[in-house]
Amino acid sequence: MKRTLYLLAVMAFTLTAQAQKADYNLIIGTYTTPGNSEGVYVYDFNTNTAAFKANTVEKSVNPSFLSIDPSKHFVYAVNEDGVKSTVSAFSFDAAAGKLNFLNKQAAEGQDPCYLISDEKNVIVANYTSGSIAVFGKDASGALTPAKQVIQHTGSSIDTARQKSAHVHMVKFSPDKKQVIVNDLGEDKIYLYAYNRDAADSILVVKDSVQIKPGSGPRHIVFSPNGKFAYLIQEMQGDLTVFSYTDGSLKKIQETNIVAKDFKGEIGSADIQISADGKFLYASNRGTANDITVFAIQKDGQLIKKSQSGTLGKGPRAFVIDPSGKWLLVGHQYTNDVVIFKRNQITGSITDTGKRIALGAPVCFVFVPKK
């Protein structure tokens, strides 16, 4: 009898632990103008079933990109607002799924579109002004005034979109010793040495890689083993594969996410890799509104496997959930998140019929419930 009760207790504990592991906060950044959203939204999300429930919202102006610090206690958001652009800091209660505004600082540039954070700093990409700003953090998680601002000054061949620098992404290298910076306006990737604990020269440029003129480098991701990097280029649909060794990038493949007979407008957007390193996904806005799936080979190179419509307009960003079972696509212009089931063997995605109705969703962060 005692043994039976013990086994039942163990089973109950195991089931509870599994249920807790499946319960996440899904934090979504949005555009509030023009649109009908209010700021940063938090949903309850179950990774076993893709069931979701609206929890809280923290009002904020155009929090179009988010970053959570390694402790999971603080969330940082850009506030994309032209010359009035700011960067905001929030504390985060994972158990309650609630954000609490701490403070904000001037972005030190126009239209910040990406940011990253660690224990010491928050680093921001300012798109329109083509600059990078580095902010410190105090003990409360609040932002200090900028410690460093770097201005890019180049241009490229597209006179409509590349008259000046446009920093589109900042990204830690796998070993956190560098920050990779994509400049759409210059058609360049910059590699900055990252001096985390420095007082002022936190970023020091070490190298740059010229990208095909007129292609517009947007987002870059690293393979889970850190040996390869994948760059999506916004303006022509190009996707470049690099080997990454000793802090340098070497091109090993050039491909494209656009079908050969495609005649419409290209607007490559997001790029993600499955946690097992087997599949890469890339979204295309414009007139395509689709996601292309690539299989990743042992040598890092890509083979195109499939292409699926995203069932909405403007798939600016998407995310693979922590379980790897689901792929969520945010549609900036049709105001919803479409939830796809992801086949972890083939990489393909199929519609679940589940939708999160939300104005202009453009960024996703999963945080475990506590």
Give φ, ψ of 172 to 5 degrees.
-70, 140
Q: What is the mean pLDDT of the chain?
A: 94
Question: Which residues on neighbouring strands pair with residue 83, listed in sequence order?
Answer: none
121 pLDDT band (50/70/90 cuts)? Answer: very high
pLDDT digits (tens, 9 = 90+) for 208-241: 999 999 999 999 999 999 999 999 999 999 999 9
Mean pLDDT for the stretch of residues 237-247? 96
Mean pLDDT for the stretch of residues 239-266? 94
How many CB atoms sit inside 10 A of residue 339's CB? Answer: 21
How many CB atoms sit inside 10 A of residue 279's CB? Answer: 25
Spatial contact of 133 and 107, defined as CB atoms under 8 Å apart: yes
11 pLDDT band (50/70/90 cuts)? Answer: very low
Mean pLDDT for the stretch of residues 189-193? 98
Spatial contact of 342 and 335, defined as CB atoms under 8 Å apart: no
3-state secondary structure of 159: coil
130: DSSP letter: T
CA dihedral 236, 360, 347, 69 (to 10 degrees): 100
Spatial contact of 235 and 216, defined as CB atoms under 8 Å apart: yes
7 pLDDT band (50/70/90 cuts)? Answer: very low
Distance between CA 125 and CA 264 in Å, rounded? Answer: 29
Spatial contact of 187 and 211, defined as CB atoms under 8 Å apart: yes
pLDDT digits (tens, 9 = 90+) for 251-260: 999 999 998 8
pLDDT digits (tens, 9 = 90+) for 313-357: 999 999 999 999 999 999 999 999 999 999 999 999 999 999 999
Taking the model in full, what pTM does it have?
Answer: 0.94
Distance between CA 173 and CA 229 in Å, rounded? Answer: 10
